[in-house]
Amino acid sequence: MAFINEHYLKLAAGYLFPEIARRVTVFSKEHPELAPEIIRCGIGDVTEPLPTSAVRAMHAATEELATRATFKGYGPGTGYDSVRAAIAQGDFRSRGLDVADDEVFLSDGSKGDCGNILEILGAGNRVAVTDPVYPAYVDANVMFGNTGAALAGGGYDGILYLPCTEANGFLADVPSAGTPAPDVIYLCSPNNPTGTVMDRARATAWVEYARKHRAIIFWDAAYESYNRSDAPKSVYEIPGARECAVEFRSFSKSGGFTGVRCGYTVLPKSVMAYTRAGEPVALHPLWTRRWNTRSNGVSYAVQRGAEALYTPEGQKEVRALVDFYMENARILREGCTRLGWKTWGGEHAPYVWCKVPDGSDSWAFFDRLLRKARVVTTPGAGFGRCGEGYFRISAFNSRANVEEVVRRLGAL
Ligand code: MLT
């Protein structure tokens, strides 16, 4: 008899984005004449073509594979040395941050990494997440057995939810004294879904908190390229973070790689976790071992494409791509503000977070926007209890569509 992982049975509803897609499909079937008018600002999926330097590098890599002299078979599970070096230099050392080449681990994207990393910690860690939160962190922890059952009002037993509300500017504060300290803390800045950026003082408080409690911060910086503020772009800007933080990065939103698939994790050699007997153990060798056992790494051509984003030409193209979506975000943010809607984010992030203007619940408002404006957004409730009453608009779309969204919202 084969047994299942019963933790999967705890998963409450379908994953947020498939549920959105399901509702859009239902509407499209009911109104096929309106389906072509639907504009999708729900899932944050890029729309613009890849940077030319990445395309050229992937072509060239494919040609190398077509010739016996330059053919490549299995690559290193953790990534090619030259790619790890380009990343460590381009994203960290060039900004004065101490990250060694072999502390960078290539992957097919940070969505997988932020769940896979749990494997080297094992089940039983108490996990803290912000509320609202990117749902993949929570679901991965449920599947892994780090939570109890789904709770009636939303969320899961055993997770420490850090409320992010208008009162704290949708930025998580460290738990108050007396709250049992979590072992693992997920933080995301620029934030998905609220688009807010964690200031240096809060990030410093989190690093100090993690070090005091021997906890680990999982810092998701997938949207780092949108952060043009003085707030930290990397957790390693904060003194002490190399002792307690793992950082996830992605080329999805900087290089338009959502379909190509490439990201990376930074795991400094100085990050420790503990045996049940209290012995410190470095995570770096465990993560290296995990990759070498579980994977043969990211495909060669894709790694070459990612590496090309660090050339001077690639950097210019990434900047232009991010500028394009930032301008979309500005148009959306200002459009919503003109309508008198309360908004956050959209300034150093590709997401605009809005308060539902008519006081209805966020799925009801989602349905109204879909049916009346043919615009797909993401209901805040899908990100957690504190997301109820809000919705997210993604700036990943064509300029024409973004302008049309603003026009339709105005005509609601
Ligand atoms: C989102 O819409 O939140 C993201 O696109 C999801 C993801 O990156 O997996």
Summarize pLDDT for 250-261 with one digit per residue, the tens.
999 999 999 999
Please report, for the chain, the start and end positions of each structural domain, with discontinuous segments joined by +. 10-49+313-410, 56-310
Instruction: Check if the beta carbon of residue 103 is closer than 8 Å to that of residue 78.
Output: no
Kindly give the number of the ligand 1 atom that is closest to the alpha carbon of 134: 3
Is the confidence at residue 13, as pLDDT, over 80? no
How many Cβ atoms from other residues are within 10 Å of residue 213's Cβ?
A: 16
Is the confidence at residue 309, as pLDDT, over 80? yes
At 12 the pLDDT is 79
Question: Is the Cβ atom of 111 under 6 angstroms away from ligand 1?
Answer: yes
Q: For residues 23 and 338, what is the distance between their CA atoms, to the nearest angstrom? A: 28
**Does this chain's domain 10-49+313-410 share its CATH topology with 56-310?**
no
Look up the pTM and report it.
Answer: 0.97
Mean pLDDT rounded to a whole number for the chain: 97
Is the confidence at residue 94, as pLDDT, over 90? yes
Q: How far is the CA of 70 from the centre of ligand 1 (A)?
A: 36
At 14 the pLDDT is 67
Q: For residues 402 and 405, what is the distance between their CA atoms, to the nearest angstrom? A: 5
Q: What is the DSSP letter of 273?
A: E
Q: How far is the CA of 42 from the centre of ligand 1 (A)?
A: 9
As a CATH number, domain 10-49+313-410 is 3.90.1150.10
Q: For residues 56 and 123, what is the distance between their CA atoms, to the nearest angstrom? A: 43
Residue 188 neighbours by CB under 8 Å, 6+ apart: 130, 133, 134, 219, 220, 221, 222, 223
Report the nearest-CA residue for atom 5 of ligand 1.
44
At 358 the pLDDT is 87
192: left (phi over 0), alpha (psi -120 to 50) or beta: beta
At 25 the pLDDT is 96
Q: For residues 374 and 401, what is the distance between their CA atoms, to the nearest angstrom? A: 11
Q: For residues 390 and 356, what is the distance between their CA atoms, to the nearest angstrom? A: 5
Percent of the chain with pLDDT over 70: 99
Q: How far is the CA of 16 from the centre of ligand 1 (A)?
A: 10
Question: Is the Cβ atom of 192 under 6 angstroms away from ligand 1?
Answer: yes
pLDDT tens digits, 341-367: 999 999 999 999 999 998 899 999 999
How many Cβ atoms from other residues are within 10 Å of residue 82's Cβ?
A: 12
As a CATH number, domain 56-310 is 3.40.640.10
Is the confidence at residue 74, as pLDDT, over 80? yes
Is the confidence at residue 154, as pLDDT, over 80? yes
Kindly give the number of the ligand 1 atom that is closest to the alpha carbon of 42: 2
